[in-house]
Amino acid sequence: MPFASATAQDGTPTFQIFQFPADGMPRIDGDAADWAMVPQSYAVTTAHMTENDGKHAGPNPATLDISVKVGWVKGLNRLYFLYEAYDDYWDFALPGLHNDTFEVVVDGDASGGPLIDNGHKDVWTPDVVGAARAVRDPRISVAEAHWANHGVHAQNYHVFTPARDKDWTMAWGSPTWIKAFPYANAKVEYDFQPGQAGRLTLEFWITPYDYAGAEGPERAVESVLRENKLIGLGWVVIDYDDVKKSENNGFWTLSKQRRMFGNASDLPLFRLMPMEAGSRRSPDAQWSFTVVDMDRRLVAFRDESAGDIRSWKWDFGDGSFSTEQHPQHSYAKPGNYVVILDVTGADGTARRSKVWDVQLR
C-alpha cells in the first residue's frame, strides 16, 4: 500500500502506521522477524529525511543508512517501532547525551504546539538564523513552565543507539516515568564496539499521551489510537562520529522543520492504517453491543466484521433473529444469552459467538 498523498505545507508526506493483528504483535526481542509481514512501502528511510545543519548535501548509505517502520495494534494505545540502521562509526562510549541517537517525538492527538519548557506559551519569534524560538510568557515562572508543559501534551524520547550502561532512552521532559515498563519497552541487538561500523536493530514500543504530568501515571490520559486517525509523529537521527568533538556529524530530521523536536506543530502526520488484507482472514466476524435500556432489556448490536461482507444473520439467543447489519433487540425475559453473528462475504462465511456476554436482569 503506497503512502497517502496528503502532504504538509513544506512538502512532507503523510506516512503510514501498520496495523498488526492482535495475535501477531511484535515481541520486543531485537529480532526483526516479527516485522516480515509489514510491506516495504511502510518503511521510512534516510531518503525521506533532511540534514538540517547543512553538513551533508544528501543521504549517503555508505556512511549512514536508516529504515524505520511503525506499527500499532487495534485496542492498544501503543506505538511499535522497528529501527534498523547502518553507521560507519557508532558513537556510544560516553555516559551523557553525546551518543548516536534516534530522537522520537509523538503528539498522539495532533494538537500541536511547543512541548519544551521554554515554550510555555504559543509565542514564537524568528531568531538570527531564521529558526523558531519560543518566548516564555513573563507571568509564568521558569519552574511553572517546566512542570506544566515540558513533555506533557507531546513526548520526546532521546533513544540512545545503542545505550551502554544507561537507560535505553532519555524522556526529555518532566514525565520521566513514561520510559519505564509498563509504559514502554525496548530491546536492541548489535555486534560492534564504539568507533566501529556495523548494523543495529532496535525494537521498542511507547505509549503516547494527551496528558502526561510529572506527578506520575495516576492522572495521565493516554492518546486513543483508532483506525484512520492522524497523529503527529517525527524523529531526528543525531549522528556523532568522534567522542573528542562535542559537535555532531549530522542532524537528520523527518520534518523539514529543524525545531520539530520542540514544537509538535512541525511534526509530520502519520495515519493509523486499517489492517492489510493479507494480515487477517476474510471474512472475519466481529461484533459489540450496548445495553440501551436495562429496564426494557433493549440491546443495540454493532457489526464490526472485516472483509467484503454481503449479508448478516443474528441469533439473539432467545429464539429471535435479524438480518440487519446493526440491529436492536428487546429481550422479553431476564437471562444470560448466547448471541451469534454469521456473516457471508465475497470470500466465504464466518461466525462469532459470545457466551453470556449479554446479561440482562
CATH number of the domain within which 29 lies: 2.60.40.1190
Instruction: Give a yes or no: residue 354 inside a domain.
Output: yes
CA distances from 269 to 81, 114, 177, 203, 211 (A): 16, 16, 25, 21, 19
Q: How far apart are CA 230 and CA 111, in angstroms?
A: 11
Length of the chain counted residue by residue: 361
Residue 234 backbone dihedrals phi, psi, to 5 degrees: -165, 175
Instruction: Give the pLDDT confidence of 184-206 residue by residue, as tens digits.
Output: 999 999 999 999 999 999 999 99
CATH number, domain containing residue 356: 2.60.40.10
* Amino acid (one-letter) located at 137: D
pTM of the model: 0.83
In terms of DSSP bridges, do strands 321-322 and 287-293 run parallel, antiparallel, or are they unpaired?
A: unpaired
C-alpha cell at 204: 521498542
CA 278 – CA 208 distance, rounded (Å): 28
State which amino acid sits at residue 136: R
Same domain? For 222 and 332 the reply is no
Which residues have C-beta within 8 Å of that of residue 325, sequence separation ≥ 6? 303, 309, 312
Q: What is the pLDDT of residue 12?
A: 72
Would you say 44 and 254 are in contact if contact means Cβ atoms under 8 Å apart? yes
Is the domain of 174 the same as that of 305? Answer: no
Angle at 42 between CA 41 and CA 46, to 5 degrees: 90
Whether the CA torsion 316, 320, 325, 327 is positive or negative: it is negative
Residue 103 has pLDDT above 80, yes or no: yes
My answer on whether 341 and 234 are in the same domain is no
The cell for 86 is: 547502518
Q: Are residues 245 and 323 in the same domain?
A: no
β-pairing verdict for 198-206 and 184-190: antiparallel
Query: Read out DSSP for 285-330?
Result: --EEEEEEETTTTEEEEEE--BS-EEEEEEE-SSS-EE--SS-EEE
Between 279 and 306, name the one with better pLDDT. Answer: 306
pLDDT at 126 (0 to 100): 40
Model confidence pLDDT, tens digit, residues 261-279: 989 999 999 999 998 877 7
Residue 57 lies in a domain: yes
Tell whether 171 and 312 lie within a shared domain. no
Q: In whole numbers, what is the pLDDT of the chain averaged over residues? A: 90
One domain for residues 226 and 336:
no
Q: DSSP code of 74?
A: T
Q: Which domain holds residue 292?
A: 281-360
Higher pLDDT, 246 or 30: 30
Share of the chain above pLDDT 90, in %: 77
Asked if 188 and 300 sit in the same domain, the reply is no
pLDDT of res. 3: 38
Whether 95 and 26 map to the same domain: the answer is: yes
In a domain, 320, yes or no: yes
Q: Both 102 and 208 in a single domain?
A: yes
Q: pLDDT band for 129, please (50, 70, 90 cuts).
A: very low
Supply the pLDDT for residue 5: 37
Task: State the pairing for strand pair 15-20/64-73.
Answer: parallel
Claim to verify: residue 349 and residue 259 sit in the same structural domain: no
Domain check: are 307 and 263 in the same one? no
Name the domain boundary from 239, 272, 305: 272
Residue carrying the nine cell digits 494480515: 279
124 lies in some domain: no
Per 3-state DSSP, the chain is made up of helix, strand and coil in percentages (nearest 5) of 10, 40, 50
Tell whether 178 and 44 lie within a shared domain: yes
d(CA 72, CA 347) in angstroms, rounded, equals: 26
Contacts of 67 (CB under 8 A, 6+ apart): 43, 44, 45, 82, 83, 84, 85
Q: What is the pLDDT of residue 327?
A: 98
Q: In total, how many domains does the chain have?
A: 2
Mark which of 255, 272, 289 sits at the end of a domain: 272
Other C-beta atoms within 10 Å of 270: how many? 24
